[in-house]
Amino acid sequence: MDNRIEKNETMVRVSINGREYSVPQGSTMVQAMWYTGHEVIHGVGCLGGVCGACATVYRIEGDFRLRNALACQTLVSEGMSFSMLDSYPIQRAHYDVAALKDPKEELFTYYPESATCRNCNACTEVCPQGIDVRDSVWRANFGDFKAVADMTFSCVMCGLCVSRCIAEMAPHEIALYARRSYGAKELPFPPNLRHRLNEIHSGTFSGDLKRLEALSPEELKKECEVRS
Amino acid sequence: MADLVESFYANTPAFDDAPPPTLSPEDRSRLLSSFYPDYRPEGKATLKVGPNKGTVVPQELADVLEARSRLTSPRNLPENPDHDVDILILGGGGAGITAALFAAKEGRSVLLATKLRVGDSNTVMAEGGIQTALGEEDSPVVHFRDTFRGGHGANDPSLLSVLVAEGPEMVEWLVSRGILFDRDPQGGLSLRKGGGTSRPRLISAKDYTGLELIRVLKEDVVNAPVEILEFSPAVELIAGPDGSCAGAVLYDLDSRRYIYVKAKAVILATGGAGRLHLAGFATSNHFGATADGLTMAYRMGIPLVHPESFQFHPTGVLFPSEMAGMLITEAVRGAGARMYNRLGKRFVNELETRDVVASAIIRECAEGRGVKTPQGTFGVYLDLVSIDRETGEGTVEKRFPNIVKLMKRHHVDPTKKPILVYPTLHYQNGGVRIDAKTRTSVSHLLVAGEASGGLHGTNRLMGNSLLELFVFGRRAGMEAVELALHRPAFSWKESSLSHVDRFEKDLTAAFAAEERPMAPVLFPDYRRKES
């Protein structure tokens, strides 16, 4: 995303950080900020919906509901007021995944608050990725880390779930812990990788690679020209 | 916006599945020289100053290489540095984080400084995967040959040999850190096809590969004994005794103060240049990709290799325009997605190398066979519907959930409708010249990742950049440890910015009274210019 906006003469009224502006319809929230002269540094990262830097809170005029979104992915609309949530404070566990002995039990050492979920479902409702966050917390508590991995794989770590949690936990960090534990501790090591590593360590390819490296540029080009 | 999308798609032609024309090697080179931006004379400048003087590069790159420093004369260093560390790492993407993790393991003091937050980088956006030769019929040797052929034989064989040989070990490391790659029914890592390769060799984490890598490694680096400075991009390297590197000047984006760091070894891992929008192209890159590392290294007199070579990824989203430049991974073409022009005809084999496919799209649009958007721009259709038709309903949703999610948000369901695409500025093929230990012509300055050059030749194959980050990130981290251990003590008083003074003198001599822009530019400025 950059500053190109679909040709559109229609303007919409928005309020950014409490100040009213008129911006072209078809702008994203971030484009609307650029259009109105804001220098956005905190709150911008990939501009492609995956880095989670641009968590934003907004309301639409006439609707009491408070909504959340990623600012690089959300188009402005008439009567929208929004503010970016540049960073939401979280407490992150200090652990080394390789040193975990019983990850399912240790979850309650690193994130004891995960067991205090009160089922309000606000985290699920706020998630811009559509993840069933509440259910993922319970699956983590029950030790079904595979399910957590499957359910939360699209998490961009924006932290909007934390902003709504009445038990004040960080569901996205808990999910990260569960996914990593599942990958490092539960899943068997991939056999095709093991096989290739054994070959590499016994020097199977080093002769051929050395030979290629030693060829003249012309010889090498010729050697690589044809798909084997 | 839903209406606009609907009216746009109302004019979609019927698609004809007749195979596209096959290309001879001569056809390929003619196509490239006629349409690929690297080989076109427009928008180029010949460098007048510095180690690559005489090289023709894109104008926008020349503007940041032949630029004035953000630090104005007289450039004196303060009495004492703000930080004094063993190893300074500039950049918090995949290469910087990997270097930091391996360097910190060895007990050296490590400071990692980055422009935005740790992890905000091109790495996090990588969709497709990591290329690593794990198949029965495959080997590091075949991987070498494919990459060398794809890079037009301009690759540095000594770097390439390291890449293919150490790749699997780095994948082992990633698996051990809990990265969840897609698995095959036997529990092995699933291998997918990419363009220009002779074997399926891509391992991926659905189409969230970069996100999965960064989520995990960011947690590790935050938990490692590494000091992290976010929102603090480097703006200048500091010279030490005998033309060595002795640290860097950072710019605190919040306090707007400069931070001076003395270091025994410096790793430049500042990434790419997409946000320079070469030749006006949209980009798939993150907000901070402005070639800062090239600017700083060039001023120190370090030669760049293939600075004229960039990757315009064939399939960036063109419509709806708020998504302009966003990448649709090549893996969709590996899985069977097809491309059609305005007439509904296929026009190139979708698994040619990226530069060939991009050139073919540019040709279609230049010769009147492009599809016009409401904005008045032109692109071609990339149809994922054929994947589901051939591999089974639900394949697209299962393998490319990110693309489906992002496009649906903007009212285009890629399981039902083709995506309108045009090449997007994606990767800097060249960069700072390094050797296999990531060393440069300036001692105690190492470079890893997209900022370095030579490995990919003049066209990178899909999945080799992620592999490069880990292989050469680790090498840089380990080499920095060695350098820091053995570097004789030197005083801050021996450090200076004299190389910047020298470079500016050369600039003045070459450009006379002509105003030069200032760089690193740090960010593109998208704010509305007229009031």
- Report which residue type is found at A27: S
Contact B274, B284 (CB under 8 A): yes
Identify the residue among A12, A21, A28, A50 best suited for mutation to test binding to B, counting B beta carbons within 10 A and taking the highest.
A50
Helix (H, G, I), strand (E, B) or coil at B417: coil
Asked if B153 and A217 touch (Cβ cutoff 8 Å), the reply is: yes
Catalytic residue among B313, B439, B456, B499: B313
The pLDDT of residue B293: 98
CA neighbor of B419 nearest in space, from B279, B309, B323: B323
In this predicted structure, the answer to whether residue A9 has a pLDDT above a threshold of 90 is: no
**What distance in Å separates the CA atoms of residue B366 and residue B175, rounded to the nearest whole number?**
45
The answer, for A207 touching chain B at a CB cutoff of 8 Å, is no
- The confidence score (pLDDT) of residue A132 equals 98
φ and ψ of B261, to 5 deg: -120, 125
Name the pLDDT band for B83 (thresholds 50, 70, 90): very high
Let me know: does B92 contact B230? Beta carbons within 8 Å. Answer: yes
Cis peptide before B520 (omega within 30 of 0): yes
Query: Which residue among the candidates B333, B338, B433, B474 is catalytic per the annotation?
Result: B333
- In this predicted structure, the answer to whether residue B374 has a pLDDT above a threshold of 80 is yes
Which of the four pLDDT bands, split at 50, 70 and 90, describes residue A7? low
Q: At a CB cut-off of 8 Å and minimum separation 6, what does B140 contact?
A: A200, A205, A209, B133, B164, B165, B167, B168
Give Cβ neighbours of residue B4 (< 8 Å, ≥ 6 apart).
A6, A26, B320, B374
Q: Distance of CA A225 to CAs B13, B25, B34, B140, B242, Å?
A: 38, 10, 22, 16, 44
Give the closest residue to B522 by CA, choosing from A40, A5, A194, A94: A40
Residue A119 within any structural domain of the chain: yes
* pLDDT band at B324; cut points 50, 70, 90: confident
Q: Mean pLDDT, to the nearest integer, of A84-96?
A: 91
Mean pLDDT of A155-184: 97
Name the pLDDT band for B289 (thresholds 50, 70, 90).
Answer: very high
pLDDT for B325: 87
Identify whether the C-beta of residue B299 lies closer than 8 Å to the C-beta of residue B312: no
Structure tokens at B114: 């980055």
In terms of Cβ atoms closer than 10 Å to its own Cβ (0-12, 13-18, 19+), residue B145 is buried
Structure token pair of residue A88:
């939401």
Query: Measured between alpha carbons, how far is A192 from B186 in angstroms, rounded to an integer?
Result: 9
> Is the same domain home to A76 and A105?
no
pLDDT at A8: 64
Q: Which of B430, B436, B429, B433 is nearest to B475 (CA)?
A: B436
Residue B131: half-sphere exposure toward Cβ, Cα within 13 Å: 30
pLDDT number for residue B531: 47
| B83-121+207-309+429-454+463-494 is classed CATH 3.50.50.60 | yes
The token duo for A104 is 């399912």
Contacts of B264 (CB under 8 A, 6+ apart): B85, B86, B87, B444, B483, B484, B487
Q: In this complex, do B124 and A50 lie within 8 Å of one another by their Cβ atoms?
A: yes
> Touching check for A220 and chain B: CB below 8 Å?
yes
- Distance, CA of B47 to CA of B41 (rounded, Å): 14
Same domain assignment for residues A110 and A75: no
Contact with chain B for residue A203, Cβ under 8 A: no
Distance CA A90, CA A155 (A): 16
Chain A interface disruption, residue of B23, B124, B284, most A CBs within 10 A: B124
* Shortest Cα–Cα distance, B176 to chain A (Å): 5
Q: Which residue has the tokens 């490092």?
A: A184
Residue A59 lies in a domain: yes
What's the total number of domains in chain A?
2
The partner residue sitting opposite A213, judged by closest CB among B4, B153, B158, is B158
- Residue A220's Cβ-side half-sphere holds a number of Cα atoms within 13 Å equal to 29
Q: Which of A2, A49, A193 sits opposite B282 (nearest CB)?
A: A2
pLDDT > 50? residue B107: yes
**Is residue A112, in this structure, part of any structural domain at all?**
yes
Q: Chain A residue with minimal CA distance to B424?
A: A1
Q: What is the pLDDT of residue A112?
A: 97
Residue-level pLDDT at B423: 97
pLDDT tens-digit readout, B110-169:
999 999 999 999 999 999 899 999 999 999 999 999 999 999 999 999 999 999 999 999
Task: Identify the closest residue of chain A to B212 by CA–CA distance.
Answer: A153
Please check whether residue B295 is in contact with residue B520, taking contact to mean a CB–CB distance below 8 angstroms: yes
pTM greater than 0.90 (yes/no)? yes
* Domain edge (last residue) among A23, A52, A84: A84
Q: What residues make up the domain containing A57?
A: 11-84
**Same domain, yes or no, for A158 and A125?**
yes
- The alpha-carbon gap from A116 to the nearest alpha carbon of chain B, in Å, equals 24
Q: What percent of chain B has pLDDT over 90?
A: 92
| B200, two tokens | 């399926």
Give me the CATH topology for the region B2-35+312-425.
Answer: Flavocytochrome C3; Chain A, domain 1 (3.90.700)
* Cα angle, residue B82 at apex, residues B77 and B83 outer, rounded to 5°: 115
Instruction: Note whether ipTM > 0.95 here.
Output: yes
**Which of A153, A187, A190 is opposite residue B208, by nearest beta carbon?**
A153
- Using omega within 30 degrees of 0 as the cis cutoff, is the peptide bond preceding B58 cis? no
Whether residue A170 sits in one domain with residue A106: yes
Confidence of residue B195 (pLDDT cuts 50, 70, 90): confident
Alpha helices in B284-400 (DSSP H): 292-299, 331-334, 354-366, 385-391, 395-399
Instruction: List, as ranges, residues 115-174 from A with C-beta within 8 Å of B.
Output: 129-130, 149, 153-157
Share of chain A above pLDDT 90, in %: 89
Residue A202 lies inside a defined structural domain of this protein: no
Q: What CA–CA distance (Å, rounded) separates A69 from A28?
A: 11
A80 and A107 share one domain: no
Q: What is the average pLDDT across B322-332?
A: 89
Contact B268, B91 (CB under 8 A): yes
Q: Where are the beta strands (DSSP E) in B128-197?
A: 130-131
Higher pLDDT, A6 or A140: A140
Kindly state the DSSP code that residue B231 receives in the 8-state scheme: S
Q: Is the Cβ–Cβ distance between B182 and B204 less than 8 Å?
A: yes
Q: Is residue A5 assigned to a domain? A: no
pLDDT for the residue B530: 66
Q: What is the pLDDT of residues B342-364, one digit of tens each?
A: 999 999 999 999 999 999 999 99
Residue A224 lies in a domain: no
User: Is B143 marked active-site?
Assistant: no
pLDDT at position B323, please? 86
For B233-275, the pLDDT digits (tens) are 999 999 999 999 999 999 999 999 999 999 999 999 999 999 9
What's the confidence (pLDDT) of residue B196? Answer: 87
**How far lies B180's CA from each of A150, A198, B187, B207, in Å?**
10, 22, 12, 12
CA-based nearest residue to B370, from B1, B5, B7, B11: B11
The whole-number pLDDT of residue B181 equals 98
Q: How is chain B split into domains, by residue range?
A: 2-35+312-425, 83-121+207-309+429-454+463-494
Q: What number is the average pLDDT over the span B306-320? A: 95
Is residue B313 part of the annotated active site? The answer reads yes
Question: Nearest-CA distance from B52 to chain A in Å?
Answer: 22
Q: Residue A6 domain-assigned?
A: no
For B201, the 3-state DSSP assignment is: coil
CATH at residue A21: 3.10.20.740
Residue among B93, B146, B100, B86 at smallest CA distance from B124: B93
pLDDT level of residue A73 (50, 70, 90 thresholds) = very high
Last residue of a domain, one of A151, A169, A186: A186
Structural element, H or E, at residue A220? helix A217-225
Looking at the structure, do residues A104 and A62 belong to the same domain, yes or no?
Answer: no
Q: Are B89 and B291 in contact (CB under 8 A)?
A: no
In the numeric block, the tokens 């959930």 are attached to B401
The dihedral formed by the CA atoms of B390, B394, B397 and B400, expressed in degrees to the nearest 10: -30
